[in-house]
Each structure stands twice: as C-alpha cells, then as structure tokens.
Amino acid sequence: MDHKELKNLLLILLVTASAVAGVSSIAPALPKIAEHFSIHPEDTGFILLSFTLPGIFFSAMWGILSDRIGRKRILLTSLMLFSVGGILSVLDLGFTFLLAMRFIQGIGASALFSLNVIVIGDLFDGEKRAIAMGYNAAVISGALALFPFLGGILSEIKWNLPFLLPSFSLAVFFLVAKYFDAQAAVNDETFPIYLSEIVRSLKNKHIIGILIGTLLYFMVQYGAFINYFSFLAKQAFEYSSSMSGFMMAVSSVIAAIVSYYIRKFEKILSYKNLYIFSFIACAASYVFMAFALTPFMFFIGILLFGMGQGLNMPLTPLLISVYVPEEQRGILMSINCTALSLGQTTGPLFFGILYKQLGLTEVFVVGGAIALFAMLLVVVSFNAKNTT
C-alpha cells in the first residue's frame, strides 16, 4: 500500500471502531441498566432495538446517496449524527429519552456499518482487498474485545458511563473531514437505469444467499448472544458484568485473530466454504454455552463463537464485492446492511419473547437452530445456478 492508501484505510478503520462501540460497549451493562430503570431483562432489548431499527429504513438511502454524491459527504453526516446521539445518551433523563438518543445514534451508525466496507472495496482490488477486509474485521473484533471489557468495568461504577465510550467518534469526524481524500466512481446514470441495475444484481442467487445469511446471523448474534450472554453467565456461574465483558472480549480476540489470518485459511477452504462454516461454528457455540456444566465448557462456547464471527465478518463484504460492480457497490453493501439491521432489530424482539415464555437456555438452543437453518439456506443458494 502506498502512503495515500494507508492513510485512507486507517481513517476507515477508525470509522469501523466507532460504529462497533455503539453496541458492544453497552452489552455488558444491560443488567445494570435494567436495574437502574426498574425494567424486566427482556425489555433491555429495546436499547439495542432503538439503535438498530434505523438501519432498516436508512441504510439503503445512505448507500444510494454515497453512490450518487460521494462517500465523504455521507461519512461526515453519519459521524456527526452518531456522535451527537451517543454523547446525549449519557444524560439521565429517563428511559424514553435514552431510547430516542439511541435512535439518533443508530441513524448515523446505519451508514457507518456499510460505508467502511464500501470504501475498502473502492480503494483496493484482488488480494489487497482481501487483506484490507481482514484488517477491518480484525479491528471490529478488537473493538468488540476492548469495548465490552471497558463497558463492563464502567457499568460497575455507574450504569450510564459505558455510553461515553462511542463519543471518540467526534474526533474521528474531524480527522475524516481534514484528511480523507479517497475518490470512488460516482454513478451518474439516470435513476431508473441505476435502479434496474440494482434489481439485476439482486437476482444473483449468491447475493440472495448472503443477504439471508446476514439477516439470520445477526438475528441470533444480537438477539441471543449480545442481549442475553451477560444474563446467562450470571445465571450459570454467577459472573459479574465486568467478568461477562471480559469473556465477550476473549471471543472477540479470537475473532480478530481469525479475521487477520483469513487469507491463510483460504488456502485450506474456499471463501464460500469458510463462510458456510461460520454458521456451523455459531450454532455449536450456542449449544456449548446453553448446556455448559463447567466453566471450561462455557469457555469452549465462547471460543467457537469468536471463530464463527471472525470468519463471517470479513467474508460477507468480500463475497459481495466479487459479485457487484463498483458503481453499485454502495447500494448493495447498504442493502446488506439493511438485512443486518433487520436481523439486529428483530433478534432482540424475537428472543425477548422466547426468553419470557421459555427461559435463557432455550434462547441459546433456538439461536443455534436458526444458525444451522441459515447455513442450509446459504448452501442451497451457493449451489444454485444463476439465470441472469
């Protein structure tokens, strides 16, 4: 990489870390937040839902705008929204106010979660792109390791302190404004033609499989693991919030290592097969955690979850970039982000009902079953022949 490529990549990696902090820093604090507002554990899902819900409605819009008017303008707008919503979430003005600020922050995050990989796709081709995607996934995993750990510690001091962690995105805003100068191909075709090209891309059965895989993977990740891991750890082994944050950090360290070495794994299995295996690892991890009789079994589940996450994160955008031309990359990555947000939003709702009706163990058992079902759908889509 030359100096300009490296500079722009570093800025995008900072954007990535900012976006991850919006959820991961809060997850270990959910029991403390529930206690502070005197709400039931299943209602903590609304804290995640209010953050992820905007992605369903805004992700595609951000992607279209980034294709039509450029990446940098959308990056700056979304970073500002993310920063303002995150900083104001610290204020103790009631549960409804917290949800409103999380919604504003989520509008910004809905662009950040897709624009980071879109810009990497713009900057690099071939092996460089795979390496950069691996770096990006490693940063996600590193942030998922650091922020839950810090969030767990801060929540032991006061319930709202973890909401301070994403505020460093304001500094990222000024860095991007001054130093980001990557140029992407801007699609200047008429809008009807632009939309027809998108529809044509969406007819690709491999893309359909990836979108379904994204939706279901993040449904079980957010609905079961992020929302209820701390409760499961406390129920099973009386682990504190800080200990839960530490264990989530361990899984993310594993994910970072796997993501970093994604090119080496590709020499053993193809990217498609590695992507399929990520769902198997996720399902196995939930089974181990649900039925763990010892801390060691519980730890095995955490390691398997990290392995699956470390494969799934870099391979999803990497596979999409293979099937999508540069001029449509923004919108297709954003459509994938919409699927991601839909999974993040429906997961806490679905598993909240499941938890209320059945219990914590069943939350993770069903999560594992859904991960296996997603794997089967992905296998079918990858084996299907495209007719267009």
Report whether 315 contacts 117 (CB < 8 A).
no
Residue 59 predicted with pLDDT over 70: yes
Mean pLDDT highest for which of 40-49, 50-59, 64-73, 369-378? 369-378
Report whether 136 contacts 256 (CB < 8 A).
no
In the chain, what are the domain boundaries?
3-383
Rama region for 275: left / alpha / beta (φ>0; ψ in -120 to 50; rest): alpha
Q: How far apart are CA 25 and CA 9, in angstroms?
A: 24
pLDDT of residue 322: 75
Listed in sequence order, the residues at least 6 apart from 129 whose beta carbon sits closer than 8 Å to its beta carbon are: 120, 121, 123, 318, 321
Q: What percent of the chain has a predicted confidence (pLDDT) above 70?
A: 92
Q: How far apart are CA 333 and CA 62, in angstroms?
A: 10
Q: Count Cα atoms within 13 angstroms, Cβ side, for 34.
A: 19
Largest Cα separation within the chain, whole Å, is 61
Q: How far apart are CA 18 and CA 21, in angstroms?
A: 5
Report whether 343 contacts 219 (CB < 8 A).
yes
Identity of the residue numbered 265: F
Q: Which of 304, 305, 306, 301 is nearest to 289 (CA)?
A: 301
pLDDT of residue 376: 95
Q: pLDDT by residue (tens digit) across 126-165?
A: 778 778 877 887 787 777 777 877 887 888 888 888 888 8
Q: Is the dihedral of CA 214, 219, 222, 224 positive or negative?
A: negative
Phi/psi at 39 (5° precision): -115, 160
Q: Where residue 89 falls among pLDDT bands split at 50, 70, 90?
A: confident
Residue 163: Cβ within 10 Å count: 28
Q: Where residue 328 falls among pLDDT bands split at 50, 70, 90?
A: low
Residue 95 predicted with pLDDT over 70: yes
Q: Count Cα atoms within 13 angstroms, Cβ side, for 38.
A: 1
What's the average model confidence in pLDDT over 316-320? 83
Q: Give the 3-state secondary structure percentages of the chain, helix then strand then coil, rounded to 5.
A: 85, 0, 15
Residue 297 predicted with pLDDT over 80: yes
pLDDT of residue 29: 79
Coil/strand/helix, residue 184:
coil
| pLDDT greater at residue 203 or residue 222 | 222
374 is written with which tokens? 């997603």
What's the average model confidence in pLDDT over 248-273? 83
Read off the DSSP letter of residue 93.
S
Q: pLDDT by residue (tens digit) across 164-206?
A: 887 788 889 999 888 888 665 555 556 676 667 667 767 778 8
Q: Which of 236, 359, 235, 224 is nearest to 295 (CA)?
A: 236
Q: Is the dihedral of CA 307, 133, 135, 267 positive or negative?
A: positive
Q: What percent of the chain has a predicted confidence (pLDDT) above 90?
A: 20
pLDDT of residue 279: 96
pLDDT of residue 327: 63
What's the average model confidence in pLDDT over 346-370? 89
Q: Which of 90, 101, 59, 64 is nearest to 327 (CA)?
A: 64
The dotted CATH code for 3-383 is 1.20.1250.20
15 is written with which tokens? 């954007």
pLDDT of residue 264: 82
Predicted TM-score of the model (pTM): 0.72
Q: Where are the alpha helices (DSSP H) in 261-359?
A: 262-266, 271-290, 295-323, 329-357
Q: How far apart are CA 70 and CA 68, in angstroms?
A: 6
pLDDT of residue 185: 53
Least confident of 273-282, 311-320, 360-369: 311-320
| pLDDT greater at residue 96 or residue 66 | 96
Which residue's structure tokens are 């705008």? 65
277 is written with which tokens? 């295996």
Identity of the residue numbered 287: V
143 is written with which tokens? 């942030």
CA 255: distance to chain centroid? Answer: 13
